[in-house]
Structure 1
Amino acid sequence: MSRPFKLPLSVLVVIHTPALDVLLINRADAPGTWQSVTGSKDSEDESFQETAQREVMEETGIPCAIGRLSDWNLENVYDIYPRYLHRYAPGVTRNREHVFGLCVPEGTPVTLNPREHTAYQWLPWRKAADTCFSPSNAEAILMLPEFMQ
């Protein structure tokens, strides 16, 4: 049975503490590639908020109910990295990503899905922005203080 193609509709969730320490996770399929939680909608009917809640739980084991999930009302549109194009329908080359923040208490435990991520780290927001590989992820992290006001 073949897997269905991924939808080019995804979320980016910047998980952070009130002190603006940001959680970054290391991709299993690209060691040294640090990022925030990301993931595609499972279906057209799934809302971006539902996708964000599901992806946070799947990738980090953090239930969004312990924190404050906020929709930043931002979207990024970007070219899909060539190494991931095979996951999408033929001819799909761009993705639309909806941005959220999730403020969690200091010391929130993280349980990674080892098929997706191999390590995690909490970093001060500016260092986190410098560490993540994705320009849209770095930009979102740099906007974090604006969304904490």
Structure 2
Amino acid sequence: MKAFKIPESVLVVIHTPQLEVLLIERADQPGFWQSVTGSRDAPDEPLWQTALREVREETGIEATPAQLRDWAFANIYEIYPVWRHRYAPGVTHNTEHVFGLCLPKPCAVTLSPGEHTAWRWLPQLSAADLCFSPSNAEAVLLLPRFVG
């Protein structure tokens, strides 16, 4: 039996105190740049654990709970049709919980092969302009509210 994705995910904006933002390019959609994202593995997985797991899986960064900040808001958006087959029949929307992860300075990352093909650190406004997802761009633009 096929295991469907849970329509509840995290968006983790990885940044520095100077508002440099890490973006990664999707392997299945070249030109689609984004922050770290990912769905819960189980309905009872705490969202902060989902966030740290996804950061580790997608970038190789071993972050601690103390570095992670729950921004205490969520976006509900329509799942792009190209990805709906991953969810149970009839599921069309996802709830995305937003977190920030502050690192002292930009660092090299180890991408998950097959999931992402490139990474770059950008100034906040340039990163927001490059994000393909409107909710991701909005989160990057809100970054100054959560730093400091």
* TM-score of Structure 1 vs Structure 2, range by shorter chain: over 0.9
Instruction: Normalising by structure 1, report the TM-score.
Output: 0.96
- How far 1:68 moved relative to its partner? 1.4
Between the two proteins, the alignment pairs up a number of residues equal to 148
Secondary structure of the 1:74 match is strand
Change in Cα spacing, 1:61 to 1:3, as seen in structure 2 (3 Å) is farther
Residue pair 1:67, 1:102 contacting (<8 A) in 2 also: no
- Structure 2 counterpart SS, 1:64: coil
Q: Is the 8 A contact 2:24 2:117 kept in 1?
A: yes
**TM-score where L is the length of structure 2:** 0.96
RMSD: 1.3
Mapping of residues 2-41 of structure 1, within 5 Å: 2-41=1-40
Paired AA for residue 46 in structure 1: E
Which segments of 5 or more consecutive residues in structure 1 lack a partner in the other structure?
Answer: none
Task: Tell me, yes or no, if the aligned pair for 2:79 and 2:92 is still in contact at 8 Å.
Answer: yes
Answer yes or no: is 1:104 the counterpart of 2:67: no
Distance 1:126 1:107 in 2: 16
The residue aligned with 2:50 is: 51
Q: Which amino acid aligns with 1:117?
A: H
Q: Unaligned stretches of 5+ in structure 2? A: none
| Contact kept? 2:20, 2:121, Cα under 8 Å | yes
Q: Cα deviation per residue 1:59-95 (whole Å; 9 max; x = unaligned)?
A: 0000112971100001000000000000000000000
* Cα distance between partner residues in 1 of 2:22 and 2:66: 14
| CA deviation vs aligned residue, 1:18-56 (integer Å, no higher than 9, x gap) | 111000000000011000000000000101101000000
Aligned-partner Cα distance in 2 for 1:115–1:6 = 18
The residue identity in structure 1 corresponding to 2:90 is G
> Once structures 1 and 2 are overlaid, which stretch shifts more, 57-66 or 32-41?
57-66
Runs of 4+ in 1 over 6 A off after TM superposition: none
